[in-house]
Structure 1
Amino acid sequence: MGISAAPSSVDPHFNQGTSTQTLTYNIFETLTDRRPDSSLAPGLALSWRPAGDAVWEFKLRPDVRFSDGRPFTADDVAFTIGRVPNVPNATASFAGQVRSITRVEVVDPLTLLLHTDGPAPNLPIDLSVVAIISRHAGEGATTDDYNALRAAIGTGPFILRSYTPGNSAELERNENWWGPRPDWDRVSFRYLPNAGARSAALLSGGVDLIDLPSVNDLPRLRTSPGFTVTSSQGLRLVYLAPNQSAEVAPGVTDNDGKPLAANPMRDKRVRQALSLAINRASLAERVMQGTAEPAGQFLPRGLYSHDPSIPVPAQDPDAAKRLLAAAGYPDGFRMTLNVASNARPTDPVAAQAIAQMWTRIGVQTTVELMPLSAYGPRSARMEFPVSLWGWASPGHAGHPLVNVVASYDRSKLTGSFNRSGYSNPALDALIARAMATLDDGAREALMNQATSTAMDDVAIIPLYHLTNYWATRRGITYEATTYDYTRAVLARRDR
């Protein structure tokens, strides 16, 4: 498999980015699983039910073993949930997914009760992204122990045999896996961040499958009898995070190069101007060549908690200039737009297009690229005026509301991926109320209200939702999914 981005770690709780999930979800499993359409299915848990307003009961799958032969039990789930919020230096923590859990009660080896701080109707969905690790391998283990494979013991369909950061990973079929036997004895990951090189590897036979094929190569791959392209509407929103935390914005100056006295991103009118300067349809149709849909909120159309009343912002450069003038910047200013060079191959190209759109309204913008390994920690430390990110929900708007725009609060485990420093106590209260509402319709209405508040406030600047693509050589099919990580069990020999 030719994979577009290398993982941040083998530690499944270190970073919930696509590149890391593509590796770890082949090795580790979750309590609830996600079908290709993102609907819930049994995973390590066979069933789950509310056992009260503030408790969920999970019944675990019997006869599951870790890859080292040790049995999987409810105690491993308890250990996992305790570890998730406490991984040092995690660059995209899963803490928000377990934030409502106050206590794990192990009833017996195959039964556990998850006690919550109130109603938590989304908990089974949120747990579909939390990989379960073993207590016997994980107790006292660090992220380095996972990267060195000492603690990389999972229950999944494959066993990780070697890992070379930034280069490759070698997996072997787990013959004791409880699920259907995968088609592959071995799976080799080759990390190929250059889209052209990835397509070339597939065309030459160097790899059998690639994710994120180059948009320039899609027409050829679609029409060639030797290859198959599969696709699905994705759940990942690509967005901009304007830094509203710093009093003086790093990387922002007046037109003479002198630092500004105040951070312009703290002014809602400036954020609105930056949003109105962007032609999202052009980004989706031209830059992304039809592989994305313009977005004005967290979720794409047709999904639960998508709000049809929230429009995709239309480009209006004249209105943007008026807003800048009203905010005290009639002549604009200069700044950098920081982007990871190797997260998604289209990010640098989209950033250049956005920089040109901003320059046209007087915000002279220079794009600065850097490797994701440096970009992620610096963005978390709010060292950029604006950063570009992607976030995928497992199926409801509460997930990004809690993690992306809620105020960062270590004690409440909110805002774990808040890269804008945005904070609105009224919105925080609304999000908390939504997440504790049991009725599906009432919860959706509250999530829509919270989403509308965040978008009106320009907490982030949504750009587009990605379409997911995979390409395979003849003889292999891949089942496209709404989630954008790649699972080797979904690649099958043609029968």
Structure 2
Amino acid sequence: MLFQFISQKQLIRSIAKSGVVALVALGLAAPVTAADNAQTIRVGVPDLPPGQGNPYSALGTPSIYTWAAVFDALTLVDAKGVAQPALAVSWKNTTPKTWRFTLRDGVSFSNGEKLTPEAVLTGFNYIKSGKAGRSPIVRELGGVASAAASGPNTVDFVTKRPDPIFPNRIAALKVVAPKHWAAKGPKGYAAEPVGTGSYKIVSWTANKIKLVAFEGSWRAPKAGQLEIIELPERSARVQALMSGQVDIVAGLSTDNIPSLESAGQRADVRAAPQVMALALPVVRKDKKTKKLVKIDTPFSDVRVRQALNYAVDKEGIAKGVLAGFAKAAGQGATPAAFGYNPSVKPYPYDPAKAKQLLAAAGHPNGLSFTAEVVTGAFPGDSEIYQKMAQDMSKAGIKVTLQKITFPEWLGKYLGRKPWDGQAFALSWNSAPYVDSIRPIGLYSCFNPFTFTCDDKVKGLIIKANSEFDRNKRREILHQIHVANSENPPAVFLIEQIDVFGLSKRLKAFNQINRWVTYHEMTVN
């Protein structure tokens, strides 16, 4: 089967590092010609990428806000969950387990290297070598057996079993300049990153990345400069936008919208490709055996996990905290994700039912636990967790919220440090390939860092991952969502939204699954 699409404008990726880095030696400070050098777009974000400029160190936010300016993958998944051309212009199955990608002609990296099969294989080989450690991308490409150049402009990926959505999965693999990677290694590349994207980095300080237009990019930008500024506090991001210090701010909340609009600024509110949830761990990886073992926790009883879902007024959160812009969640996917099951509804708010279930599970006086949460990154997240805890208290459940930073959360999730609490904040994120199987597979028996393992879901995942018939595959995913509702691995809270603040001088803003199209934007 052959997949051929019309080329479209792509999005931009950017990088992250620590300390100040001068990149003139890499050819990254070439003068801007076609782009308007007088235009500088400034972006305020909650955090710069914790993995610096290594595109294999993380997925999703906050890194995506920066990497959208510098890096590209073979494909880019659009808002409808369809893989579109990026560094690859077409792809096809040559065998049930082999996907062949044809590379885009004439693409260069910002240091002058050319896009070749070797460039694509450089990142893949690093991921498969074991040197990437606990990077989440290792898991994303865990189903690939091998990859090799099949021609001067083609790359073949051989999967362990037939994979119907591999063109979507490969969107997670950003392509690096092979010679520069070989010379610098992962740590050196993180400090001096090179990409095919619209902008290239010229300096990096503790809280600011400065980039200039890469005129040789296959998706050259319209503005001459881009600055990405770390502003951890939401109030600081709002003030920066209101005072004209930045043109775009990410990670705002709905309660910021009235003040922005009254000041003549704008808000861009869109459904995000993820569900906010509270993970209820029942298994962990044993350090000696490397196998999943059960945890001694009240959450091991399904009735307790059901009770926690009944104990939260999710509709109240969506309508109250998020002013009706969001919807209550009943499963680990949003309507945009392939396989979302519209028949699976959120648990209704029923504290009496929650108490009954807790009593039946041996907790007539309720229970207490600590939940580790990250705040300040998503709309209303702090208020959502507070409302969740307040609701649970009415059912006899005492929740102590322990706030941690995203880098701390990531380190604990990847097993580098132990969790202090018994539950933790978790997003069921279908990006980058906008398919239910992404979070379902990530939080399953197949992931060594998982917190849950359901044998029924495990079997359905195996079936879904090898089913090429879209209708049959959709039905399998529907069954998984039913199973995860009946035997909930988490408290599903709300379908997340993204609120960006935009200055009135900014033109042509767009973002697809948080992939900001910086290259299309201009400022007056």
Q: TM-score, normalised by structure 1?
A: 0.88
Mapped contact 1:38–1:481 kept (Cα < 8 A): no
Mapped contact 1:265–1:385 kept (Cα < 8 A): no
Moved >4 Å (runs of 4+): 85-92, 140-143
Q: C-alpha offsets along residues 168-200 of structure 1, whole Å, 9 cap, x if unaligned?
A: 211111111012x31221111111121121111
Gaps in structure 2 of 5+ consecutive residues: 1-42, 286-294
Q: Which of residues 443, 458, 464 is equivalent to 2:473?
A: 443
- Give the aligned partner of residue 247 of structure 2: 208
Report SS of the residue matched to 2:275.
strand
User: How far did residue 398 of structure 1 move?
Assistant: 1.0
Query: In structure 1, what is the Cα distance between the partners aligned to 2:523 and 2:244?
Result: 16
- Give the aligned partner of residue 41 of structure 1: 84
Mapped contact 1:336–1:365 kept (Cα < 8 A): yes
Output aligned runs, 1:1-150, within 5 Å. Answer: 1-9=43-51, 10-35=53-78, 37-85=80-128, 93-139=136-182, 141=184, 143-149=186-192
User: How far did residue 143 of structure 1 move?
Assistant: 4.5
* 1:386 aligned partner, one-letter code: A
The alpha-carbon distance between structure 1 residues 279 and 140, as it changes in their structure 2 partners (threshold 3 A), is: farther
Q: C-alpha offsets along residues 287-340 of structure 1, whole Å, 9 cap, x if unaligned?
A: 223332111112223653111121111111111111111111111222212112
Query: In structure 2, what is the Cα distance between the partners aligned to 1:485 and 1:46?
Result: 19
Q: C-alpha offsets along residues 350-402 of structure 1, whole Å, 9 cap, x if unaligned?
A: 11111111222112111111222223212443523111122321221111111
User: How far did residue 37 of structure 1 move?
Assistant: 5.0
Mapped contact 1:341–1:369 kept (Cα < 8 A): yes
Mapped contact 1:407–1:422 kept (Cα < 8 A): no
- Give the aligned partner of residue 400 of structure 1: 439
Aligned residues: 467
- Give the aligned partner of residue 335 of structure 1: 369
Mapped contact 2:139–2:447 kept (Cα < 8 A): no
Query: In structure 2, what is the Cα distance between the partners aligned to 1:87 and 1:168?
Result: 32
Query: In structure 2, what is the Cα distance between the partners aligned to 1:349 and 1:140?
Result: 47
- Give the aligned partner of residue 467 of structure 1: 497
Mapped contact 2:88–2:103 kept (Cα < 8 A): yes
Query: In structure 1, what is the Cα distance between the partners aligned to 2:307 and 2:105?
Result: 56
Report SS of the residue matched to 1:51.
strand
Identity score, percent: 23
- Give the aligned partner of residue 19 of structure 2: none
Query: In structure 1, what is the Cα distance between the partners aligned to 2:401 and 2:379?
Result: 15
Report SS of the residue matched to 2:362.
coil
Report SS of the residue matched to 1:405.
coil
* 1:306 aligned partner, one-letter code: Y
- Give the aligned partner of residue 30 of structure 2: none
Q: C-alpha offsets along residues 13-54 of structure 1, whole Å, 9 cap, x if unaligned?
A: 111131111112311101012345553221000101111211
Q: Which of residues 266, 277, 296 is equivalent to 1:228?
A: 266
Q: TM-score, normalised by structure 2?
A: 0.84
- Give the aligned partner of residue 292 of structure 1: 326
Q: C-alpha offsets along residues 86-140 of structure 1, whole Å, 9 cap, x if unaligned?
A: 5667665112332221111211231111111221110001112321122222237
Query: In structure 1, what is the Cα distance between the partners aligned to 2:424 and 2:135?
Result: 15
Query: In structure 2, what is the Cα distance between the partners aligned to 1:26 and 1:469?
Result: 19
Q: C-alpha offsets along residues 422-447 of structure 1, whole Å, 9 cap, x if unaligned?
A: 11233222202101111111111111
- Give the aligned partner of residue 359 of structure 2: 325
User: How far did residue 142 of structure 1 move?
Assistant: 5.1
Mapped contact 1:170–1:188 kept (Cα < 8 A): yes
The alpha-carbon distance between structure 1 residues 87 and 207, as it changes in their structure 2 partners (threshold 3 A), is: farther
Report SS of the residue matched to 1:94.
helix
The alpha-carbon distance between structure 1 residues 76 and 177, as it changes in their structure 2 partners (threshold 3 A), is: same
* 1:232 aligned partner, one-letter code: R
Gaps in structure 1 of 5+ consecutive residues: 248-260, 410-415
Report SS of the residue matched to 1:428.
helix
* 1:238 aligned partner, one-letter code: M
Task: Give the root-mean-square deviation of aligned CA atoms.
Answer: 2.3
User: How far did residue 478 of structure 1 move?
Assistant: 4.5
Q: Which of residues 212, 237, 241 is equivalent to 2:275?
A: 237
Mapped contact 2:273–2:496 kept (Cα < 8 A): yes
* 1:241 aligned partner, one-letter code: A
- Give the aligned partner of residue 171 of structure 1: 211
User: How far did residue 449 of structure 1 move?
Assistant: 1.2
User: How far did residue 490 of structure 1 move?
Assistant: 4.4
